[in-house]
Structure 1
Amino acid sequence: MATHLITGAGSGIGAAVARRLHDRGDELVLVARDAGRARELAERFPGAGTLVADLAEPDRVSWALGHQTVPDRIDSLLHVAGVVDLGRIGELTTKTWHHQLNVNLIAPAELTRLFLPQLRAAKGHVVFVNSGAGLTAHAEWGAYAASKHGLKALADSLRNEEHAAGVRVTSVYPGRTASPMQAKVHSQEGKEYDPARWIDPESVATAILTAIDLPRDAEINDLTVRPGR
């Protein structure tokens, strides 16, 4: 039975992935930003373990986990959590930059560093849920795209560094996906939100499970998922 450590399991793609893995009987360890959120996740996914760590404060993640019992084995580390705040470069504050870089890039790097011993021992898999913005940056997406371009660089470097240890690394680049984040984006863009127009989170979950379930003789490095409508 595999053990998966997942961020962002509260909604959208993360919730879909967690549900699929939970339904098939795998062990889950879900990262929550606070104790209240951890209780909600534990109730939603009976039997799952939880860890409390605020990804918006990556400098404190190591300290937070040091006061909790972390799993001895990790077969996959799934970085799904993310935040977005649109704005023109000339108007973005440093607070906005720091928030997106912390959650989308620095926290995944720190969690990966902390759990690399378990991943190496299990010859595990690290999945970074990136974005189409990690490949192309558009107007008003500068800070978010910068964080996601950085996440691509993190994944590519990690893949080269840990290949000899048997750790697989996959970046998934979903297009617009029906989720609370997408509703927020539409609000910031001043557009009406119709979830039926965008990718179902279950479809992205299928892509992620395909990557982690692939036999050991192969690996998916980069996987782009686009709306089919």
Structure 2
Amino acid sequence: MTSELVLAATNEKLQEMDWMKNIEICELVSQDPGQAKEVIKAVKKRMGSKHANTQLWAINLLEMLMNNCGEHIHRQVIDSGLLPVLVKIVKKKSELPVREKIFLLLDATQTSLGGASGKFPQYYAAYYELVSAGVKFSQAPRVVPLEVRTTEMHKNNTRGVKPVSLKSVESTQKPKSQIFPESSIIEKAGAALEVLRDVLDAIDSQHPEGAKDEFTLDLVEQCSFQKQRVMHLVLTSR
């Protein structure tokens, strides 16, 4: 039954992710951890599909399973040999959204599991293998122009967000040095984090919904991208 659900949830004809089927699969695994083996086996098979859509829906399903179904899913991903399959897909010239999704999922998972010294170091090893191979994604995240950011902050003020001064934002964005590329990468990451911290500090605790607006989410996305660049720098500098 679970394999049939995975097949339906990863159908190449789907125009968007089938949330209901994905949730149903996660609930089945949560209620009966014994189903994890069959589900991951089915996901692995779908990752081998020639259809980019099928691969994308499969990796989205895997992400939901990892985030919601706990340790038995992580164990099955390792025991089933799915990790080498994911690494191979990222290394070869396949569809960019699929490759990027896998790379970011491995990064997030190995970080949440404690990296090389965590309970499942295999995830770190898979991620490190990709970084060592020079895998990276050059497209920048959506960056809101400084003028638009200031306007957005004034709009957000009606939802409980205290405005951040333009001067403070500019000071965190200004680079300190252009001598070394490595320094520039770290400074950009620090600047993005500094702005996000200022924005979060300015949110009224009585109106936490201010943290979910497009402006703040853009900053979170930018920080995530900069984290990827710093991780790549650290790992390749060893």
Pair in the same fold by TM > 0.5: no
TM-score normalised by L of structure 1: 0.35
Q: Point out the structure with the larger strand share.
A: 1
Could you say which structure has the greater relative contact order, defined with CA pairs below 8 angstroms and 6 or more residues apart? Answer: 1
The structure whose residues are more often helix, as a share, is 2
